[in-house]
Structure 1
Amino acid sequence: ARAGEDKSTGLRGHPSGYFPNPSVRGRIAAGDSLMSIKLAPLQGSPFGVQGETQAALEADTTGLVLLRKAFDEHGLIVLRGRTLSMGEQLDICRIFGPVVEDSPWENFIISNTRSDGFLGAQQLLWHNDLAYLPVPYIGGSLHALEVADDATTTHFASGALAWDKLPQNLRERISGRTALHVKQKVFDRPNRLTDLDPGDVAAVHAVVRQHRATDRPYLFVSEDLTDSVIGLDRRDSDALLADLFACLYARGQTYEHRWHTGDLVIWDNEVVQHARGEISNEPRTLQRASIARLGYAQMYPSDLGIYGDQYDKTLADGTGAAAPVA
C-alpha cells in the first residue's frame, strides 16, 4: 500500500493515515448508533458538494469515508442546518485531517461586531491561507454564527479546475516553474516581497502541484500572496501570473457563497482559494477552524513575540485589526 493509504477502503489520505484522529476512529467503532450522509453537487458552483451538518456530526463509517473522499476530490463542502460550538466544528474538521487544539492562531472568531473578532470588515484578495509557509494548512472552515442572510459572501476558486481549463501553451510556460509566496502585510492590494520586514516568512512552491491524496494537478498561485515566478524578470512574471489568474478567477469557474446563519463551509486550502469583498454594515460573525499538521506558533514560535502582542492588543481594545492568519 502507498504511504497514507487506508487498506480497508483503498482510498489515500494524509500521510498520518486516513482517519488519524482518535475521536474519528471512535465514531467508526460506534457503528450502528450513527447515520449515513447524503451529498449532492453544490448548487450554483462549478465544483464542490453540499449536505446537512447534523448528518456529518453523526456520520457512520460509510458517511465518514464519503465526506473525506469528497474533500479530497472536490475541495469544497457546504453543510447547512444548525449552529455549532467551536468543539463541534473541530469534530467535523477532524474528519479531514489533524487540528490544532486550543489555538487562537488557528481557531478564532471573525466579526465586525464582536470585540474578540479579527478581520471583521477588511477586504481579502484571493489567497490560500499561509501559502507563504513551507507547509500551508491542509484545510479551513468557516461557520456562520450570526449573519444577515444573503448580505455577505465569500468567494472560492479551485486550482484543480483552473488546471483542467488551462490552455496547452500556458501549461508549457509554467512547466517546472516555481513561485515566491510572501507573508500578508497589506489588505488593499497584492502583497510583494518589498512589503516584508527583515525576518518575515516567505516560501517557494511549485506553480503546479499534485494533490496529496489524488495526485490531481492544481495551480498554486494567488492574487494576494504570490510575489513572482522564480527565474523571470518582473515584467514577464507579472504577465504570466496575470494569464494564470485569468484562468483561476474566470467568470463561471468560481463560487460565491451567500452566508446564512448556521452554514458551515469547509475547503481544501491547498487546492481551493478564497476571497472576500467589502463587508456591509450588517452583522457578520463567523467561527474559523483550521485543519493543519502544525500550528503557526509551533512552526514559528519566535513570531509570538511580535504577533502575540498584536493579538493581545486586539482583544483588549476591540479593534479587530490584527489577525493570527491570513
Structure 2
Amino acid sequence: MTVNVNPADFTFFEIKQLSPMIGAELSGLKLSGDLPDAAISEIRRALLEFKVVFFRDQHELTAAEHIAFARRFGDLEIHPATPKGQEDPEILRITHDETSKGRENAWHSDVTWRPEPSLGSILRAREVPPFGGDTLFSCMYAAYDGLSPAMKEWVSGLTARHDIARVFAGRLNKSIEELHAQYPVLEHPVVRTHPETGRRALYVNTAFTDQIVGLSKKESDWLLAHLYTFAAVPEHQCRFRWEAGSLAFWDNRACQHYAASDYFPQRRVMERVTIAGDRPFFDPER
C-alpha cells in the first residue's frame, strides 16, 4: 500500500515525499512557537499517512519547547534509561562517541515490552558526524502486505512475548529478575491493527520479541526469522540523513527503525521525547 497524498490538502507546510511507502519531509514550519491546533492536526494527519515525518532547521527549538511540542500529541512517558534526578526526565539523551559505539543498529519498534508501547517518538539531532549515522525507517503495513495469503492468515491469530531483558539486561544496574519484577514479560499480537488508521501492521521486532506463544522454540525461531526479513526489504524503507537541528517524528505503531552505527568513533548526540501509546490489539474485522 503506497502513500497517496495530495500536498494541496496541507496548508501549514510543504511536503517532500521520500519513498513510495514511507517518509516525508515537512518544510516551512517552525516548531519553536505556539502552533495552532490546526497545524498540529495536519502534522498528525501527515504522520498517519507517511508513518514518519521529518523537520529540518529547528535550531531555535529549546528542550522545553521540544517537550511541549510532543505533549500536543498525547501524554509523555519516561524511559527507564533516563538518569534519575534529570531536570527534564521527558528527554532521553543518546550520546555515542569514541567511548560508546552505537548499539541501536537493529530493526525494532520502541518499548514493546510495555503494556502500552509508545505511540511514537520525536528525535532531535544535537550533534552529528560529518557523514554516517543515518536512521532508516521501514513500513510495517508493507511488511504485512508482503506476506503470502496463507502466512497472513496464520500469523494474524498468533501472539508473541516481548522482553525488556533482551536489550537492557545489565544496562540499568538491575538483574534480570529485578527487570522482570518491574517490567514483566508481555504478550502482544504478531499482527497489530492500528487504532487510528485501521490498517494491519506486522508487530514483532528483533530487539524485544522473545518467542511466539504456542510454538516450540525451534518453530518460533524459524517463524520470527522469516517475519523479521520483511522489515529489511529496501522497497519498504526510507533513509534519513541527519543534520544538526533536524527532527524525526515516527509512528511507533506502524513502522520500525534502524540507527546505522557506521560513524564510530565520531560523536553523535540525539534527544528523544516519547509519546505514550495504547495496548496493541488485533481486530479480525478490519
Shorter chain as denominator, the TM-score bin is 0.7 to 0.9
How much has 1:224 moved relative to structure 2? 1.4
Q: Counterpart amino acid of 1:280?
A: F
How much has 1:41 moved relative to structure 2? 4.2
Query: In structure 2, what is the equivalent of residue 268 of structure 1?
Result: 251
Q: What is the 5 A alignment of 1:306-325?
A: none
Task: Give the conservation status (yes or no) of the 8 Å contact 1:149–1:261.
Answer: no
Query: In structure 2, what is the equivalent of residue 92 of structure 1?
Result: 69
Structure 1 stretches lacking a partner, 5+ long: 1-34, 188-194, 295-326
How much has 1:256 moved relative to structure 2? 2.2
Q: What is the 5 A alignment of 1:139-218?
A: 139-186=120-167, 196-197=176-177, 200=180, 201=183, 202-218=185-201
Find out whether 1:71 has 2:55 as its counterpart: no
Query: In structure 2, what is the equivalent of residue 82 of structure 1?
Result: 58
CA distance in 1, matches of 2:53, 2:200: 20
Query: In structure 2, what is the equivalent of residue 15 of structure 1?
Result: none
User: C-alpha offsets along residues 276-305 of structure 1, whole Å, 9 cap, x if unaligned?
Assistant: 2324222211111111269xxxxxxxxxxx
How much has 1:44 moved relative to structure 2? 4.6
Query: In structure 2, what is the equivalent of residue 249 of structure 1?
Result: 232
Aligned length: 251
Find out whether 1:52 has 2:27 as its counterpart: yes
Task: Give the conservation status (yes or no) of the 8 Å contact 2:97–2:265.
Answer: no
CA distance in 2, matches of 1:238, 1:291: 31
CA distance in 2, matches of 1:259, 1:136: 25
How much has 1:141 moved relative to structure 2? 1.6
SS of the residue corresponding to residue 179 of structure 1 reads strand
Which range moved further: 93-102 or 227-236? Answer: 93-102
Q: Counterpart amino acid of 2:108?
A: H
Q: CA RMSD in A?
A: 3.0
How much has 1:106 moved relative to structure 2? 4.2
SS of the residue corresponding to residue 134 of structure 1 reads coil
SS of the residue corresponding to residue 197 of structure 1 reads helix
Task: Give the conservation status (yes or no) of the 8 Å contact 1:124–1:276.
Answer: yes
Q: Counterpart amino acid of 1:266?
A: F
SS of the residue corresponding to residue 161 of structure 2 reads strand
Query: In structure 1, what is the equivalent of residue 6 of structure 2?
Result: none
Bigger helix share: 1
Which range moved further: 271-280 or 64-73? Answer: 271-280
CA distance in 2, matches of 1:228, 1:216: 24
How much has 1:123 moved relative to structure 2? 4.1
Task: Give the conservation status (yes or no) of the 8 Å contact 2:67–2:90.
Answer: no
How much has 1:150 moved relative to structure 2? 3.4
Query: In structure 1, what is the equivalent of residue 15 of structure 2?
Result: 40
Q: Counterpart amino acid of 1:218?
A: A
Query: In structure 1, what is the equivalent of residue 272 of structure 2?
Result: 288
Name which structure has the greater RCO, CA cutoff 8 Å, separation 6+.
2
Change in 2 beyond 3 A, CA 1:71/1:56: same
Task: Give the conservation status (yes or no) of the 8 Å contact 1:81–1:263.
Answer: yes
Return the TM-score normalized by structure 1: 0.68
Query: In structure 1, what is the equivalent of residue 82 of structure 2?
Result: none
Task: Give the conservation status (yes or no) of the 8 Å contact 2:133–2:241.
Answer: yes
Counterpart pick for 1:226 among 188, 206, 209? 209
Query: In structure 2, what is the equivalent of residue 240 of structure 1?
Result: 223
Structure 2 stretches lacking a partner, 5+ long: 1-9, 79-85, 169-174, 279-286
SS of the residue corresponding to residue 230 of structure 2 reads helix
Task: Give the conservation status (yes or no) of the 8 Å contact 1:127–1:275.
Answer: yes
CA distance in 2, matches of 1:223, 1:89: 29
Q: Counterpart amino acid of 1:49?
A: A
User: C-alpha offsets along residues 232-275 of structure 1, whole Å, 9 cap, x if unaligned?
Assistant: 11111111112211222212212222211111001111222122
